[in-house]
Amino acid sequence: MIETLDRERLAAALAKAMVKAGRCPRLYVQVNTGRETQKSGIDPAEAATFVARCRTEHGLEIEGLMCIPPEAEPASLHFALLAKLARECGVEELSMGMSADYPLAIRLGATSVRVGSALFGARPTA
């Protein structure tokens, strides 16, 4: 599974690699719901167009969307936005929520959550 598809160049490279390998991983588009400059992800206003372009121009089967909300804002706003965008994009899968907020994410429609620190502990600081 690749949950971080967020730019045209990556979509083109993935399409080429998939043909060469004869394999098709599950693909999610990463959406930068908080429009944070330090984070990757497609702008929410461009999500539907980007998903459509991935499908039509690159032949990619986009299954879902993924987001990582800003720490300083209520996650619920970002999870609700991602669910709305998923409906607009015609995808059913939502990867949202991490160890600290996964119950909320599930209530708002998450189909997968990322709970690494709950399982493995906090990452060491550099």
Output the tens digit of pLDDT for each of the chain's 126 residues.
Answer: 999 999 999 999 999 999 999 999 999 999 999 999 999 999 999 999 999 999 999 999 999 999 999 999 999 999 999 999 999 999 999 999 888 888 999 999 999 988 777 677 777 776
The answer to whether residue 26 sits within a structural domain is: yes
The answer to whether residue 125 sits within a structural domain is: no
Q: In this structure, what CATH number is given to the domain that contains residue 107?
A: 3.20.20.10
Q: What is the count of structural domains for the chain?
A: 1
pTM of the entire predicted model: 0.89
Give residue 57's domain range: 2-120
| Sheet arrangement for strand 2-5 | 2-5, 27-30, 62-66, 93-98, 112-114
> Where do the DSSP E strands lie in 31-80?
62-66
Per-residue DSSP letter, 90: T
Question: Which residues fall within 8 angstroms of residue 3, CB to CB, at 6 or more apart?
Answer: 28, 30, 66, 95
The H-assigned helical ranges of 35-74 are 47-58
Per the structure block, which two tokens stand in for 28? 């999610």
